Chains A and B, each alone.
Chain A
């Protein structure tokens, strides 16, 4: 982060300070693999290379990707979508929230995809060799489309923590991966949702790479209103995508 700030001295337009206040840096020493994979050169701020009107015509500036995808209703139910005759092992949970833009307006028709480990902390992926059982009734993946209020709702199993090789005795906190595609490429977000009170959060360099105040927004909250009686605890996770519903061209026209 400091490196990027230092490189922003030579006149090119780079990432804004507020961006760095909300997002993890590309290179974060405690997360080892970031050191060889995160870009080392400063980013160039693409919209600044356009005058405002033209950026609305750019592929990155156009805002019409929402509502282009379809999902079947059962795809958001991870308790059932991988079942081979029985229920998956683990604690059933409901994960629900709203997808919003920077103005707080709902992002309608966003493609929301999730994937996660099973209750034992094991992914259904050939690279995952953690010595914990796979669950024949759990796929660990689901998707849905945000509704007219920006709302989404998944039924799943609470994922287990699992070890990884980043450092000695390293464990990932319990988390669910989220991929969200809103109306534009500026509203493309890949992130992870965590659970309140997890003691591993303080030790995790992926979570810890995010500035502290911003990182709190990655932790879901227990919500009795989302909790379904006699069935499953509910967790709320609202997602705010960058940008607003209006394209830059529309904003310019209004101002």
Chain B
């Protein structure tokens, strides 16, 4: 992937800033634009709720993050004209400043691999987006056999596990994101 002759240089990233909700996650009925991308993914598979807090290096809850997810449906299909596996949530969506998604639990995109949700984090103070992944606490047997997960450093890969619970009949996963510190989430570049 070294720089090749003739390739155009990419446009640099800049922070999403504190006011992204104006364009990306507007609320209220008086906004005639509405939204292009919501916080729900509809498709085949087990219905789940996904939420969590984002923490900064000082341990404070980040109140102005934008979280985007991309995933396959329950059958492991991401590339399907009838399924749009992309959603976004800010973390002002719940009163306690968690982000929140209503989606389906993905299946593995390739047989023998663990299921995961790809995550993009944006916020004021983040000069460029950060990519991470969610793996599932009830799939540990698959996780430790997964060719990607097993290559991640032992002491950091736990940061990618979302914890499953069942409350009031709903299947919920909690996935907190730590930007820095002892529990810093493992981030990728693509």
Q: Which residues of A contact B (CB under 8 A)?
A: 12, 14-16, 18-19, 22-26, 28, 31, 33-41, 43-47, 49-50, 54, 57-60, 62, 64-65, 68-69, 71, 75, 81-82, 100-104, 111, 113-115, 117, 123-125, 127-128, 139-143, 177, 179, 181, 185-186, 188-192, 206-207, 209-211, 214-215, 217-218, 238-242
Contacts and interface: CB of A to CB of B under 8 A. Distances in A.
Contacts of A60: 70, 118, 131, 188, 190
A242 B10 contact: yes
Interface stretch (B39-47, B94-102, B148-156): B148-156
Given A39-B187, A46-B188, A49-B151, A191 B13 contact: yes
Contacts, number: 241
A195 to B, nearest CB: 14
Interface residues of B, number: 74
B126 A139 contact: no
Contacts of B14: 24, 177, 190-192, 206-207, 210, 218
Given A123-B22, A210-B12, A36 B188 contact: no
B10 A113 contact: no
B32 A36 contact: no
Contact of B10 (A28, A127, A240): A240
A113 B62 contact: no
B131 A185 contact: yes
Interface in B54-74: 56-58, 60, 62, 64, 68, 70-72
A209 B128 CA distance: 10
19 contacts: A16-B1, A18-B2, A23-B13, A26-B130, A34-B15, A34-B125, A36-B58, A46-B148, A47-B190, A54-B147, A127-B18, A143-B36, A179-B23, A188-B129, A190-B16, A191-B13, A217-B9, A217-B12, A218-B11
Contacts of B152: 44, 49
Q: Counting chain A CB atoms within 10 Å of each CB, which of B16, B21, B33 scores highest? A: B33
